[in-house]
Amino acid sequence: MTKNAEVAKVLKEISLYLEFEGKEPFKIRAYQRAVRSISSLGEDVASIAERGELTTIAGIGKGIAEVITDYLNDGQVTGLEELRTRVPIKIMELDAIPGVGPKTIKLVYDKLGVIDLESLEAAANEGRLAGLPGLGAKTEAQIKEGIRVARSGLGRTLLANALSVAEDIKKSLNQISGITQIIIAGSVRRRRETIGDIDILVSASDPKAVMDSFVSHRDVSSVTAHGQTKSSVRLTSGIQVDLRILPEDSFGAGLQYFTGNIDHNVHLRSIAQKKGLLLNEYGLFKGEKKVAGGAEADIYSTLGLKLIPPELREDTGEIEAAQSGNLPSLIELKDIRGDLHSHTDQSDGKNTIEEMLDAAQAKGYDYYCVSDHTQSLTISNGMDEARLLKRIEEIDDLNASGRWKMTILKGAEVDILSAGELDIKDEVLAELDFVTVSIHSRMKDDKKTMTDRVCHALESKYVHLLGHPTGRLLLKRPEFEIDIDAVFESARKNKVVMELNAHPQRLDLNAGNLRKATKNGLKIAINTDAHYTTELDNMQFGVFQARRGWLTKNDVINTYPLKKLMSTITK
């Protein structure tokens, strides 16, 4: 596993302390920039440090490079340790609460002695926040809600993080001889958006060697169990990993047991029971005799079911569909022919348009849409009409140059303003191939205002896609208040496509909304919203989520050949 997440976390903590202490804004911004840049590196920051090239990373100057080196060498940063001693608060835990930032943290620390989530919750429940300068009853209620959101995310991690950790452990275990099977099971295999812990199943001739290697993996911070058939560890990142060794002839049964959620497994066991069989983690039994167990597919087929894709195993209709032969033929990553939402350094992206196009071409795409932000997003250097018109000419030239085999589509991610107006004039929108509209401001609007705003924006005949429709950031920011059914209805009427944003922290729409949208006849676009070339890799997370939402290739417009795509979006 790379050190990137850990280093980004340390830099983030420093930036929070700087803000807490009211230090110079440029210094705080430098750390914030460094956090973003390290989080999206395509390479391990430790390898870059080894080559002495930290300052070649965008946003990393000499000072921050020294901090990173300090941390990589000793596992701590002297200055940060001093700050933690002087102000002993759980600043990262508090900052993770939606609606709480360093300024609030400073206020509640100074006035109420709040040092962590628990003491903040106590203060909020006792109504002590509302009396503080600048904090009314409304803010107190928002903080309470934020605490609830933060609590539900405690101990969870994004699928993308869990998957990379799990793959790394799998790779190192695979070097042990005598391993016949190794599969990452549990909610990672179901591709849930966030993960509580990681389950790895192994079949091996030398279980002891596997367990010894597992508990001594370099990322392990503590070992909670170390046995012959099961071991558990906690990693430095806080994630718990369980490893189980299964006999070869029970591997399929174990895999089934440790993949489906409780509801799916209970339902399956009841089907077994009706057939006079017993299903458990060791196999499917008729009396004493094991009738299936080595292969997962045999468990399902003996129960009269088609093999159910892991992503669906949550008892939301997949068992009935498998019984009647109506399981959907789920979309796969290889079906994707292009990406319809991406940024460049013309707005808040970090790479040039040429670099993004090279990276998209390397994915083998047939088309790629460049969609930078528009003018009201000043913080992201959004484009006004004049710049957009220039961009359109530039893309015509790039297409004509023949340097890229794919078609470059002219797009924009247009801001939806306070009453649902768009911040670019119609005559310029008309020049674009693909127009995305998104909410980036006033995210705390009440439900009716937000719904009216979005529905009004979708009425424009130039709009093709609603970007990240719920605005959530997993483990960080809840969805905004919106009547999603009304939005779907408006989209259907106005022939607007819904985005499944593939960023691992967004992934809106969620699985339930995806099923509802396609049931209502809506089409979906799975887009990375990439701000860096490396973020084009996030497409896989969008496809995982699409599969959880039962989507087939036909539901997703960016699996279509270009001609079909364009005719589908034409109004």
423 binds Zn ion (CB under 5 A): no
- The residue from 142, 232, 351, 438 that contacts Zn ion (CB under 5 A) is 438
Please say which residue, 264 or 531, places its beta carbon nearer to Zn ion: 531
Single out the segment in contact with Zn ion by CB under 5 A; choices: 10-18, 71-79, 187-195, 431-439. 431-439
- The secondary structure of 130-182 as a DSSP string is TTSTT--HHHHHHHHHHHHHHHHHTT-EEHHHHHHHHHHHHHHHTTSTTEEEE
Residue 418 has phi, psi (to 5 degrees) of: -60, -30
Residues 104-123 that bind Zn ion (CB under 5 A): none
Single out the segment in contact with Zn ion by CB under 5 A; choices: 201-209, 295-303, 413-421, 456-464. 413-421
Angle between helices 117-125 and 137-153 (to 10 degrees): 140
Residue 428 backbone zone (phi > 0: left; psi -120 to 50: alpha; other: beta): alpha
Please say which residue, 264 or 373, places its beta carbon nearer to Zn ion: 373
Select from 385, 388, 386, 396 the least CA-distant residue to 344: 388
Residues in Cβ contact with 497 at an 8 Å cutoff, skipping those fewer than 6 apart:
464, 465, 466, 491, 522, 523, 524, 525, 557, 569
Single out the segment in contact with Zn ion by CB under 5 A; choices: 43-51, 237-245, 362-370, 410-418. 410-418
Please say which residue, 4 or 438, places its beta carbon nearer to Zn ion: 438
Would you state the structure tokens that stand for residue 480, as one six-digit string?
A: 């905004």
CA distances for 233 relative to 158, 171, 202, 218, angstroms: 19, 17, 16, 11
Could you tell me the maximum CA-CA distance found in the chain, to the nearest angstrom?
A: 77
* CB distance 471 to 439 below 8 Å: yes
Please say which residue, 413 or 535, places its beta carbon nearer to Zn ion: 413
Please say which residue, 265 or 374, places its beta carbon nearer to Zn ion: 374
Please say which residue, 96 or 443, places its beta carbon nearer to Zn ion: 443
Residues 459-488 that bind Zn ion (CB under 5 A): none
Count residues contacting Zn ion (CB under 5 A)?
3
Provide, rounded to whole angstroms, the least separation between the CB of residue 362 and Zn ion. Answer: 21
Please say which residue, 100 or 487, places its beta carbon nearer to Zn ion: 487
| Terminal C-alpha separation, the chain | 47
Residue listed under structure tokens 């894709």:
309
Q: Which DSSP helix (H) or strand (E) runs through 319?
A: helix 318-323
Please say which residue, 76 or 418, places its beta carbon nearer to Zn ion: 418
Provide, rounded to whole angstroms, the least separation between the CB of residue 6 and Zn ion. Answer: 27
413 binds Zn ion (CB under 5 A): yes
* CB distance 102 to 19 below 8 Å: yes
Residues 514-553 that bind Zn ion (CB under 5 A): 529
Please say which residue, 157 or 436, places its beta carbon nearer to Zn ion: 436
* CB distance 524 to 499 below 8 Å: yes
Residue 76 has phi, psi (to 5 degrees) of: -155, 165
Provide, rounded to whole angstroms, the least separation between the CB of residue 111 and Zn ion. Answer: 36
372 binds Zn ion (CB under 5 A): no
Would you state the structure tokens that stand for residue 81, as one six-digit string?
A: 């340790």
Single out the segment in contact with Zn ion by CB under 5 A; choices: 130-138, 289-297, 407-415, 419-427. 407-415
Provide, rounded to whole angstroms, the least separation between the CB of residue 466 and Zn ion. Answer: 11
Single out the segment in contact with Zn ion by CB under 5 A; choices: 56-64, 282-290, 406-414, 507-515. 406-414
Single out the segment in contact with Zn ion by CB under 5 A; choices: 170-178, 277-285, 375-383, 405-413. 405-413
Provide, rounded to whole angstroms, the least separation between the CB of residue 437 and Zn ion. Answer: 10
Residues within the interface to Zn ion (CB under 5 A): 413, 438, 529
